[in-house]
């Protein structure tokens, strides 16, 4: 078999050829008018993608760096925050907060479900000392999208800030940062923003800046006041990942020329058709609040999830993601985020059918592809 590689994992995700070419330029110096012009443009465009008028910081780190900054920038040891465990990534906020001596009140949600905003409302009412609520927009480990609009409405009535991890969600699942009252949004480069790993982003509202004034967690690389001073001069405190920022300018141009509404609609169409496709061959979707960025698909009875993952990646060349923690071997995750259209999904679904066939799972061959096409075209 002629093997080709297809990257269909929920990060890193496929990078457009035009973005790769942009990043092939020779490296130039960043303390120059040439770079400053690019950085100003990138910052303005990021705000359009974040749907915010707030500052958006650019960090040279993976997404988790911005998650950490969203804890260290606003809090002090001994503060109490509300965290939610509805998957691997929302759980991470709880771990980061604890690492900095912050007390966490954790809402446990069955993986595959989204947090109920009324539970958050009750927790906030019970403890008015809660300084911040941490949630994901898209919980990549379970394919769940959270109703941030409803969470924003709940949190806005209190003195707490709402922090959202939109690392995989931004540019795939809809977010209206300002309109929904999301005070801090973190994102990363290697998911729906169509870049290699290495950049992280954080938007900060006025309410969050006020909280930051009383923060006493020591920080250096991610020190918000240092970053803010630089940002106000259209700069970063330390050497930026110049090459990635150049790529980002190109990918943001692609996103904005398609249009945010159109980008969201494309993701929704792909997600809906993908879910119909896997259901047509007897598989099921883990999430009862399914994301438009990634689908978590449950293996049918009798299919060895570990074998499936190995064959589809190592033999077929199609990289999807497996399940994490207790979902290991129980699900696979197929991404439809970023640089992805209907033809990419047909490739991924054909590979899913082929591997299931080789694992002796009984289904109507071609049914997933047919359902995808029928749903997509309807």
Ligand X SMILES: *Cc1c(COP(=O)(O)O)cnc(C)c1O
Give min distance, CB of 206 to ligand X, in A.
25
| Structure tokens given for 316 | 């077929």
60 binds ligand X (CB under 6 A): no
Buried b (16+ CB within 10 A) or exposed e, 41-68: ebbebbbebbbbebbbbbbbbbbbbbbb
Contact 83, 209 (CB under 8 A): no
> Is 91 an interacting residue with respect to ligand X (CB under 6 A)?
no
Q: Which of residues 147-206 bind ligand X (CB under 6 A)?
A: 165, 167-168, 188, 191, 197
Residue 89 in the binding site for ligand X (CB under 6 A): yes
Name the segment binding ligand X (CB under 6 A); options: 32-40, 70-78, 135-143, 257-265. Answer: 135-143
Q: Does 63 bind ligand X (CB under 6 A)?
A: yes
CA distances from 170 to 50, 122, 201, 216, 304 (A): 7, 28, 10, 30, 33
Decide if residue 36 touches ligand X (CB under 6 A).
Answer: no
When the beta carbons of 52 and 291 are compared against ligand X, the nearer one is 291
Closest CA to 143 of 68, 83, 88, 187: 88
- Kindly tell me the sign of the dihedral angle through the C-alpha atoms of 72, 115, 147, 144: positive
Pairwise CA distance, residues 333 & 321, whole Å: 5
C-alpha distances in angstroms, 188 versus 198, 261, 279? 8, 20, 31
Which residue, 145 or 312, has its beta carbon nearer to ligand X? 145
Window of 18-26, 57-65, 174-182, 224-232 that interacts with ligand X by CB under 6 A: 57-65
Complex with ligand X: residue 84 or 369, whichever CB lies closer: 84
| Binding residue count for ligand X, defined by CB under 6 A | 14
By CB under 6 A, tell whether 143 contacts ligand X: no
Interacting residues toward ligand X by CB under 6 A: 11, 62-64, 89, 136, 138, 140, 165, 167-168, 188, 191, 197
């Amino acid at each position: 078999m002629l093997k080709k590689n297809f990257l269909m994992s929920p990060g890193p995700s496929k990078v457009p050829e035009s973005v790769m070419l942009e990043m092939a330029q020779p490296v130039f110096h960043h303390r120059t008018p040439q770079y400053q012009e690019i950085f100003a443009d990138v910052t303005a465009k990021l705000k359009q993608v974040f749907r915010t008028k707030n500052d958006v910081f650019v960090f040279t780190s993976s997404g988790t760096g911005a998650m950490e900054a969203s804890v260290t920038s606003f809090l002090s040891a001994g503060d109490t925050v509300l965290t939610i465990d509805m998957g691997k990534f929302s759980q991470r906020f709880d771990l980061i907060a604890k690492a900095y001596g912050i007390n966490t009140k954790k809402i446990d949600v069955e993986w595959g479900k989204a947090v109920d905003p009324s539970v958050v409302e009750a927790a906030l009412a019970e403890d008015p000392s809660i300084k911040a609520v941490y949630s994901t927009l898209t919980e990549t480990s379970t394919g769940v999208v959270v109703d941030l609009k409803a969470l924003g409405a709940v949190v806005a009535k209190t003195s707490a800030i709402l922090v959202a991890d939109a690392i995989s969600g931004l540019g795939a699942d809809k977010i209206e940062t300002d309109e929904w009252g999301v005070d801090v949004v973190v994102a990363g480069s290697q998911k729906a923003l169509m870049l290699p790993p290495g950049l992280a982003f954080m938007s900060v509202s006025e309410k969050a800046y006020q909280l930051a004034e009383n923060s006493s967690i020591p920080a250096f690389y991610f020190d918000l006041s240092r970053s803010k001073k630089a940002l106000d001069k259209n700069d970063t405190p330390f050497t930026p990942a110049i090459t990635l920022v150049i790529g980002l300018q190109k990918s943001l141009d692609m996103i904005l020329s398609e249009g945010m509404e159109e980008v969201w609609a494309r993701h929704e169409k792909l997600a809906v058709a993908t879910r119909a496709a896997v259901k047509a061959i007897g598989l099921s979707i883990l999430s009862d609040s399914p994301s438009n960025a990634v689908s978590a698909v449950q293996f049918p009875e009798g299919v060895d999830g570990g074998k499936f993952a190995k064959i589809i990646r190592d033999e077929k060349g199609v990289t999807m993601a497996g399940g994490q923690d207790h979902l290991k071997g129980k699900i696979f995750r197929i991404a439809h985020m970023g640089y992805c259209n209907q033809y990419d999904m047909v490739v991924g679904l054909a590979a899913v059918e082929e591997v299931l066939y080789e694992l002796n799972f009984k289904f109507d061959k071609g049914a997933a592809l047919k359902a995808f096409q029928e749903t997509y075209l309807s």
